Amino acid sequence: MFDALPKDTMTLSMNHYIGILHTQVTSSREGIEFGFQYEEPYGAYFRNHSSTWRLLLADPLLDKMRQSPAENIIVDGRTVGPINTSRLSAKPVLITLPAGTGNHTWKLKIN
């Protein structure tokens, strides 16, 4: 049955799906910052698995970001590296969070 799916199709386990459904996502009023809360028992999948979320940015914000050479990504209070703003397009920005339940933060620091 899975052989009939396109090669780029991704499947999820039931625990992964439940974890996604029960994740509480919040945003900040200042800048581009998100909080992710994985509560037990529903977020148990993320105890041992990292997670990736897709962020689509509005065109006016993309235009503003393209004027800067690089922006820093901060995950859980630690700078993990720059994002190359010159390559931003209609593609989503990937938000990658480390494994672990509880609270995680992701922030795009605009220079």
Cα separation, 22 vs 37, whole angstroms: 9
pLDDT of the residue at 72: 87
- Confidence (pTM): 0.82
- 26 contacts 106 by C-beta, under 8 angstroms: no
What is the rounded average pLDDT for all residues in the chain? 87
> Which residues have C-beta within 8 Å of that of residue 66, sequence separation ≥ 6?
85, 86, 88
pLDDT of the residue at 81: 86
**Nearest to 33, CA basis, from 106, 111, 86, 110:** 106
Cα separation, 46 vs 48, whole angstroms: 5
